[in-house]
Structure 1
Amino acid sequence: MSCSSSSGSEEDDEGFDSYRKGGYHAVRIGDQFAGGRYIAQRKLGWGQFSTVWLAYDTSTSAYVALKIQKSAAQFVQAALHEIDVLASISDGVDVNSKCVVQLIDHFKHAGPNGQHLCMVIEFLGDSLLRLIKYNRYKGLPLNKVREICHCILIGLDYLHREHGIIHTDLKPENVLLISTIDPAKDPVKSEVSPILERPEGSINGGVTSLIEKKLKRRARRAVAKISGRTASIGGTEDQKSVRNLDGIDVRCKVVDFGNACWADKQFAEEIQTRQYRAPEVILQAGYSFSVDMWSFACIAFELATGDMLFTPKVGQGFSEDEDHLALMMELLGKMPRKVATAGAKSKDFFDRHGDLKRIRRLKFWPLSKLLVDRYKFSQSDAHEFSEFLLPLLDFVPEKRPTAQQCLQHPWLRGTESNEKNESSVENVGVGMSNLKIK
C-alpha cells in the first residue's frame, strides 16, 4: 500500500479481527503520538502491515502521513527494514528534488495490542492508479505522460546510482502525485483547521470508521440507483468523455520502500507485482537495477493507454508464468535462447531450443502497430513512444538503458523546457519547480 497516499488502499477496510494482540493499533481522531507532537486527523488507508493516518505535526505546523505498523515481531522487522532504506535515501543533499518520498521521523508507540513502530512520512497526494481511474482508463495526454515519466526516472536514477537501491515493486500505486487531484481532499488547500484534541464522545476510531464505511456504502448504492435512472434520461455523452487534466499537477514521487533492497544485499527471489514483473524474475535468473526499468516501461504504457501492458492468466494446461512469457514474446519477438534457458526455472517453461513447452502458437503484434491499431495513436506518436519503450523491454537485462540514460532520450526531451533541464547529466536532479513541461 502506498505509505503516504491520500488515496489509501483500494480495498474497502482492514477488518475488525486484525485489531488484536500483534495486530493493528486502534486510532481515534485527536489521538496524540510521540509525546503530543503528532495528532491524528483522519485515516488515509491501510495495508497488510499497517494503517496510515493524516496527522498534524504541532512542532512544524504541517500535515504528515503517519504509518502505524502492526505490533507482531515480523511486522516490526519489516518496519525496521523500511526505516533503514528510507533513512538512507532521506540522507541525500536536497533530497526534495529527487522525486522520492521523505522520512521525517520514526518512533515506537505502546498500545493495548503491543508496541508499534511508527513512521512519519511527508504527506503526498493521489497515486498514479487513482489518476488513471480518474481519467476513466482512457490514457493520459502524452505531455502529461512525459512529465510523470521524467519524475519517476529522476527518482530511479537517485535510488540506483546514488544509493545502490532497487525498488523491486514499482507500479502505479507506488508513485504518488505531490498534491491531491481533488483540492478539497488536500488539508492545506481546503483550509480546514487541524483537529488539536479528541472530539467529544469519540470512540474507538478503527472500529467506528468500519461501521461508518458500511453505512456510507449503503447510502452510495442508494444514490447510485437514483442517479443511474436520471443519467439514462439525460444521456451519457458527458460520462464517456475524458476528464479535463489541464489543472492537475502531475509532479510525483516514488514511495513504498517496504520491499526495496540494496543491489548487493538482496533477500527475495520473487519480487515485483505480477503485471510489472521482469522476465528474469519469472525465470529466476538473478536481477539488478534493470528490473525497475522494466516495471517503469510497463507503467509508462499504462499511463499512455489506460491498459496494463501485460495481464497474464492461467489457461488450460499452462500457468500464469508461462502465459506471461508468451505475452512478452508476442509483443517483443522471440526471447533469445541464451536468456530463455539461463534461469533456475527455465526448464519449467522452455525446451532446449528456447521455445515455450505448452504455448506453441504465438500471435505477434509489435508495440508500434498495437499503439496505432488498438489505441489510435498517430503513426509518429506511436513510433516515437515505441522507440522510448522498446529498449527498456529488452529481454537481455544488461541491454536495458539506465534511468540516467533514459533522461537523455529525445522522446522525453521533446520540449524546450526539458532540453534546458537535461542538457547535462549534472542536471538530472533538477529542482521540483523545473519539472513542469509546457
Structure 2
Amino acid sequence: MAAGLVISAPASGVGKTTLTLALARAWRNSGLRVQCFKSGPDYIDPAFHAAATGRASVNVDSWAMDRGTISHLVSRGTDADVVLAEGSMGLFDGVAARGVCGTGATADIAEMLDWPVLLVIDPSGQAQTAAAIAAGLRDYRPGVRLAGVVLNRVASPRHEALVRRALLDAGIAVFGALPRHAEISLPKRHLGLVQAEEQAEIGKLIDEAARFVAEHVDLDAVLQSAASWSPQPAASGVNATPPGQRIALARDAAFSFVYPHMLEAWRAAGAEISTFSPLADEGPDPGADVCWLPGGYPELQAGKIAANARFRSGLRAFAATRPVHGECGGYMVLGTALTDADGIRHEMTGLLGLETSFAKRRMHLGYRLAELTAPMPGHQAGARLRGHEFHYSTILAQPDTPLAVVHDATGAVITETGSRRGQATGTFFHLIAEDR
C-alpha cells in the first residue's frame, strides 16, 4: 500500500517543484519506490519528476479529464511506496466554470484521491501572517486536508522562530524550514522551467536539492503524514484516439511539449510511434501514415529550422499525400513565417498560411474546448476536444479554413481557431482529452 501526498502552495513560484524533486530523490535514495504526478496542464515538470524518480510521470487534470481517466492514470502508482502529486499555481486556483469533474485546481485532485496536502510557504516579507495564510488554506474547503507546512526561503533563525510559533499556535505542523539556497534554483524561461533534457547537470542539481532538504526537513514526519492509499480499479482508461497507425513524431528541444499520457494511450491503442528531429535536419519517417509536430520552443530555434532544407522538403513531401498536424509551436512551424523576439522573420514550411510573431509578446493562456468543424488526424468533424493553450506569439495572419470553434473555460469564443489546408492541420491548444 502506497503513501499518497499532494504538494501545493498559496501561489506559483514558491518552490513546489524543487521540494517535490528533493523529496522524491531523497526517498528514492533511501530505497523507496517513488511515483510522481503533475496536477494540471504542464508539459515540463513530468520530465523533472522522471529524472528524480526513474519512473515516468503523467498529468492529471480535473477540468479536462473524467474521474475514470484520472483513476486509471494514478493507478500506475500501485507498486510504489510513496506517491506525490505536485500541484500547479495555488492550491485552490482553477477556472471559474467547472469542467469535466472540477475546475482544474490542485484541491480537486487532493479531495478526489483523499490525500493530505503538504504546503510550501514562502514567508518572505512576513512572519505571523504566513500562519494566517496557511490556516485560511486549511479551512477554505471541506474535504481538503492539510498535512502540514514546509517553509521555504526563510531569512534568519529569528524569522523562522516567529513563523514556526505562529503556525504551531494555529495547530499546523511544521516539517522543516529551508534557508535561501541559490545553488538549487532551477533555471527558467518564458514558458516555465528550462526543460530537464536541456540541463546536463540536472541529476547533480536534484541530488543537491535532496541533500539540502533532508538536512532541514523531517522526512520521516512528512512520510507519516501521507495517506495510506490503495488505488481503486478504474472503470475506463484514457480516451485518446491515435491520429494514425504509424505516427512520425517530431521530438527534440524545439518540439517536446506533448503530454506523456497521450503517447501512452496511442501506443495502448496499437499505434506505433517513430521520432525524428527537425533540429537535426531530419524529415518524418516515409513509412508513417501521419506526422505530428508538438509544441516546444521553435521561436528559440527559428533560424535553424528555416535553414534545415532536408526537414522542410521532407515534411512537404510527406504532406502531399498524408496528414500532418501541429500543436502550438508545431502549428507555427507549419505556417508561412515566424518572426522571432529580435524582429527577424524566418520562413517556415508553408503548409499553412499562419504567420506568427514574438517581436511583440502577448500571453495566451488557458483551457480550451474545441468543436471541430473539419477533420484532423484521429478525429472527425463534430468531435469535442479538451486542451490547454500557453504561448506568447501574436497572430499576424491565419487565412486558412478554420479547424474548429474554440471556447475558453468561460465558454467565450476565441480567435485561435486552428487551421486546415489540404492534408495539413494545426491548433494553438495542446490536446489533453476527448469528451466521451
Would you call these one fold, judging by a TM-score over 0.5? no
What TM-score, normalized to structure 2? 0.25
With structure 1 as the length reference, what TM-score do the two structures score?
0.25
